[in-house]
Structure 1
């Protein structure tokens, strides 16, 4: 594992132009589909990328293997299917004011943000806009 970013602002330029292969969200078992704890993204780049929000910052990590199988009290949601973005090409990935956004060529934007931006420990909320 290599942590690439831990900040309120950053850009992940190396994935621009790559296609989404898998996009998995890890959630608490009783939470709504839009409240992920961790997100795992795999592209044509061949590596896994994990990202999340914590303490008012965005975190972005690179992983060789995906090892986050849901544990007790957790579940997984396939965001690639839910948002219909499998094989979509990534245009840009950025974190601005602790909001991680993935924009896609041809339109569409995934956003991970805090449900309550005044509370750094609030749940994260995922949205997708076409």
Structure 2
């Protein structure tokens, strides 16, 4: 009886599920999961200002906007690269490029910044 109890306790406390979860690499992440991770990084960007059609927006507002555009695009967007190029770089209304002001005051095109975030997502950083 004690042997069975010991085996049951070991089975419950076994680290196998944690090991299995850790074995999922960033390279096995789906394109949709990479887009989710990218939008999450945008939302959590500290001190970053998004400039869309001349109006400044917080990182959280930018992430919400990108999520709305993604939803509207539906299955037309299949990869993170398509997401960045078709949804994250310019206004679909005016065609004007989105800009990002970094915490140090430097302004860059959103495509440059988003591609950098995608590299970080894929590197697991």
Identify whether the pair has TM-score above 0.5, normalized to the shorter chain.
no
Bigger proportion of residues as helix: 2
For this structure pair, what is the TM-score category when the shorter chain's length is used for normalisation?
under 0.3
TM-score by length of 2: 0.22
Name the larger-Rg structure: 2
Bigger proportion of residues as strand: 1
